[in-house]
Amino acid sequence: MAYVFIHDGEPLESALRRFKRKVQQEDIIKDVKRHSYYLKPGEKRRLKQALARKRARKKFMKKQLHR
């Protein structure tokens, strides 16, 4: 759970910016999206494999670009 304490005389926008940064660092949004619907084990495996292929393709293209 992300907590942000507002300091004396601190504008609300600044505190909100700090809160957003803390939420992003703790991956709270990613966790909420992941738990918002159920994935069957097979679907989860296929998604994981697809992400691995995407990362490998990206790494390969980056390697080809720097040659």
Tokens of 11: 């504008």
- Residue 50 pLDDT level (bands cut at 50, 70, 90): very high
Rounded Cα distance between 14 and 36, Å, is: 30
37 φψ region: left (φ > 0), alpha (ψ -120 to 50), beta (else): beta
What pLDDT score was predicted for residue 64? 86
What pLDDT score was predicted for residue 57? 95
Rounded Cα distance between 18 and 26, Å, is: 12
SS3 45: helix
Give yes or no for a contact between 11 and 25, defined as CB atoms under 8 angstroms apart. no
Residue 66 predicted with pLDDT over 80 = no
Domain ranges of the chain: 1-36, 39-67
Instruction: Tell me the per-residue pLDDT of 5-38, one tens digit each, with 9 for 90 and over.
Output: 999 999 999 999 999 999 999 988 888 888 898 9
